[in-house]
Structure 1
Amino acid sequence: MEPATTPVTPRCVLGCAALAGLYRPVAEEEAQAALEAAWELGVRRFDTAPHYGVGLSEERLGRFLRTKPRDSFTISTKVGRLLVDDPAAVDGTDEFYGTPRRSRRRDYTADGVLRSLEESLERLGLDRVDLALVHDPEDFMDQALDEAAPALSRLRAEGVLNGYGVGTNVTGTARRFVSETDVDTVMIAGRYSLLDRRAEEGLLDLCHDRDIRVLAAAVLNSGILVDPAPGARFNYAPAPDWLLAAARHMDGACAAHDLPLRAAALQFPVRHPAVDAVVLGAGSEATVRDSVAWLRAPVPDELWAELDALLPEQDRLP
């Protein structure tokens, strides 16, 4: 099945975790080929973090972007984890493989934020990033709200950053940042998808009311919305049978319209007015091309209505 595409650049950000050995080692050449494909297809927004491959993602992305005019793209990175050289670091820590010998140290202080951004710029080889996100602050909320957020707010006021926000898969964390700080961006992972709408009323609607843009990440819910076969995962864990059944019903509805499930899954989040873009987790040239093609494929309105009718009970989601 081949997508019927249009030349319009999709509303997407290329997330660069998978380019840094997430779940499997990724060669430099493979990572650069994926970035080249994204650029060829019109992608100009990129997201990375020190956490991804303990700096490998930033290094690889920087090597690519340094060949492009700086004003032709935007880039976001994250704060909250500082990296230290560590000869004893174990390959595969946090599911990243083939990475440098470094360890992560959590730090959400104001000084830690400034140091994190300085070190990110060194790895990227760039003079600035456009957006900084406080990364996974759940266990450090007081420090993140009292120190990290004000530090980033000051950098935005000084023109060092164009924007700042929070990146998390916990809707309660995102709501606190929206309510207690002056963030302009929220990246929410895995909580606004065809199967999981838990971010909608409590977070997305609030962001829309406050003119805070949302970036929807992990929209395939760990692969169940690519292939809901037995053994498929939902949010990093084996999916229960009832959820697999719901995903298979959605898959069948898409097939009746001659579309794969992932086409609807990739496009679904931007239907909400608060969602600015989908963050793609593609880690190879093939997956980049596939994702962008299906983002451009027409999806009939009647299919959206059918998929909404197949939504599983949200209070049962793991």
Structure 2
Amino acid sequence: MTHQSIGRRTISNTPVELTGLGFGASVIGNLYRVTPADDAAAAVEAAWDAGIRYFDTAPHYGLGLSEQRLGAALRHRPRTEYTVSSKVGRLLVPNERPRGVDSEGFVVRDDLRREWDFSRDGVLRSIEDTLHRTGLDRLDVVYLHDPDDHWRQAADEALPTLADLRDQGVIGAIGAGMNQSAMLARFLRETAADVVMLAGRYTLLDQSALDDVLPAAQEHGKSVVAVGVFNSGLLSRDHPADGMKYDYRDAPPALVARARAIADVCTAHGTTLPAAAIAFPRTHPDVVNVTLGMRSPDQVARNAELHRRPVPETLWDDLRVQGLIRSDVPGATGRAGSARCP
């Protein structure tokens, strides 16, 4: 499989190209469980072989472990052939009271701790630290990471600092990444952000970004990277089961039933729920990429195969008709479906 079959899109009004499928490196930072170093390196290698050329990481992921592993795995590759994003907002500082293991979901030693900092100095220091951990000469995209409780400093200090670096040619594109859509829409409307990383808010089970982020991107000529497209797992299997996660919690029975109904429609159209979940966000013209967490070569192979699997346009029409997705979801042409009732 070549990178042509993965496809490429450019972040609007920037020189930055992303492959249609991205490699999310949070899991190689030992998210929830240990990923052996050899498996992490092999996963990045498999992603490269599958044609993936966009890799996303952050200091938060494994207290720097993700950045270290990703940088080491890419170091022998030609730097002009791939795109890397990382994030700012959480500085890693010495932990004066370590307890042995990180408390934020990563199975790593807690010799370091995270410290919120969206100041100009904090942003510059964070980028310098990331370049040191990765061994890379530059970052192509830098996002503000979860600035939910820090809007004023993020908008007034962090984003203008990133804009200065972008305007100097040090960074290719800038933006913010969050689990909510309302504040991301503000970044698109009110700041110099080029792109936002939208987690879980434009999926087969949640199209709330149609109310804010996606209109803002369209209106201002900006771009969206979609992550969390499986909503923490409920959309990740052909047949959703009780006990699966939705937004990091056990999925309510009504949502499991809805996911099963969507899966049945997928089957009727000759595809699967996971393939449709990956394809769905990119039916919107302003979504330039879907990035998935990948822990092993097997996961990379599965995700790449799902990504390239054709999903018929008639599927979205049928889901609209049955009331399983919103009637204003655009199809592959970028036009909303007619507002038909189930």
The TM-score range, normalised by the shorter chain, is over 0.9
Q: Is 2:128 the partner of 1:115? A: no
Match of 1:141 in 2: 151
Q: Which is bigger in relative contact order (C-alpha 8 A, separation at least 6)?
A: 1
TM-score w.r.t. length of structure 2: 0.87
Q: Residue 6 of structure 2: SS of its match in structure 1?
A: coil
Aligned-partner residue type, residue 122 of structure 2: G
Q: Is 2:276 the partner of 1:264? A: yes
Aligned-residue sequence identity (percent) comes to 44
Distance 1:106 1:194 in 2: 32
Equivalences, count: 311
Instruction: Identify the match of residue 111 of structure 2 among 101, 104, 109.
Output: 101
Q: 1:23 deviation in Å?
A: 1.1
Q: Is 2:245 the partner of 1:239? A: no
Q: Residue 101 of structure 2: SS of its match in structure 1?
A: coil
Distance 1:56 1:200 in 2: 35
Q: Is 2:196 the partner of 1:196? A: no
Match of 2:293 in 1: 281
Q: Is 2:324 the partner of 1:311? A: yes
Distance 2:206 2:145 in 1: 21
Match of 2:219 in 1: 209
Distance 2:111 2:273 in 1: 39
Contact 2:4 2:51 in 1 (8 A): no
Match of 2:11 in 1: none
Instruction: Identify the match of residue 91 of structure 1 among 87, 94, 101.
Output: 101
Distance 1:54 1:80 in 2: 13
Q: Residue 52 of structure 1: SS of its match in structure 2?
A: coil
Using a 3 Å threshold, how does the CA distance of structure 1 residues 312 and 245 change in structure 2: closer, same or farther?
farther
TM-score w.r.t. length of structure 1: 0.93
Q: 1:99 deviation in Å?
A: 4.8
The gaps in structure 2 that reach 5 residues or longer are 8-19, 328-342
Q: Residue 305 of structure 1: SS of its match in structure 2?
A: helix
Match of 1:178 in 2: 188
Deviations 1:162-217 (A, max 9, x none): 11000011111101211221110111100000110001131112202211110000
Distance 2:299 2:87 in 1: 24
Distance 2:213 2:159 in 1: 18
Which 10-residue stretch deviates more, 286-295 or 297-306? 297-306
More helix by share: 1
Q: 1:89 deviation in Å?
A: 4.6
Segments ≥4 residues shifted beyond 3 Å: none
Match of 2:331 in 1: none
Distance 1:242 1:312 in 2: 15
Distance 2:92 2:99 in 1: 11
Contact 1:6 1:296 in 2 (8 A): no
Match of 2:311 in 1: 299
